[in-house]
Amino acid sequence: MLAFSGCTHGCTVEEAEELKRLRFVMFEADRYAYPWWREKEIVSEERRQQGLCPLTPEEATLVLQALGFTKETQIYIASGEIYGSERRLAPLRAAFPRIVKKETLLDPAELQQFQNHSSQMAALDFMVTLASNTFIPTYDGNMAKVVEGHRRYLGFKKSILPDRKKLVELLDLHQNGTLPWNDFALAVRQAHEKRMGQPFHRRIIPDKPKEEDYFYANPQECLCEGTGCEDVLDPGKSSKVTMTAGEQL
């Protein structure tokens, strides 16, 4: 995913070069499906400033702490192999030692039947993310969007949807010493007050489907029907919507 995104923030020079080579290899393997991979010059820091890069483990750690999660929080990492493995996860694990993955929760014999089937491995992650108290995607890929929408369907379960463009601004200010921790934490919480999976109308732009909100992230047509829809999708005018909150991810 990192090679596809072109994002290398937090990587060493050697890792950045490896991701660039991997991107080239992927282009050669499937040049007709993704012709822009090689032709488009990607500037990692520009993409990051635009909010188009996944949060790094270091960034995710700071954001989680700012949102009020403590070291007692159990975190389930729903993903495939993480680039850099345990070395990249070290900051997150130091702050949140109760990290688990499907590989650590399942007995090897139980996991073996799924290991050669990437879609089935993803399905395991999908089931856990639906059942979790809180869902926080570090990137808004298709999996994250479908989970977000399904959690809305299940009763608007708490899903904190990071504003990565704003977070990058705040993270850089904090890390260069301009923004003290308390101010940083307050700004992060304020930026996400309305990004907790609450009901809202999906943005629809006629004839511009690529610019409108993704249907599966907010399938409002499936969430209500009839005259009660406005009460559900515009909770500011009604007190009928009950939000689900929790302490774990």
Write down the pLDDT at residue 198: 87
DSSP H stretches of helix in the chain: 2-5, 13-29, 36-39, 44-49, 57-66, 85-95, 102-105, 108-112, 118-131, 142-153, 164-175, 181-191, 229-233
Question: Strand, helix or coil at 6?
Answer: coil
Is 79 within 8 Å of 100 (Cβ atoms)? no
* pLDDT over 60 (residue 249): no
pLDDT more than 70, % of the chain: 78
Identify which of 31-40, 210-219, 235-244 has the greatest average pLDDT: 210-219
Domain boundaries, the chain: 1-52
CA angle 122, 149, 4 (to 5 degrees): 50
Write down the pLDDT at residue 144: 94
pLDDT in tens, 47-103: 889 998 999 999 999 999 999 999 999 999 998 777 777 788 899 999 999 999 999
Is 151 within 8 Å of 157 (Cβ atoms)? yes
CA angle 24, 42, 91 (to 5 degrees): 90
pLDDT in tens, 123-177: 999 999 999 999 999 998 899 999 999 999 999 999 999 999 999 999 999 999 9
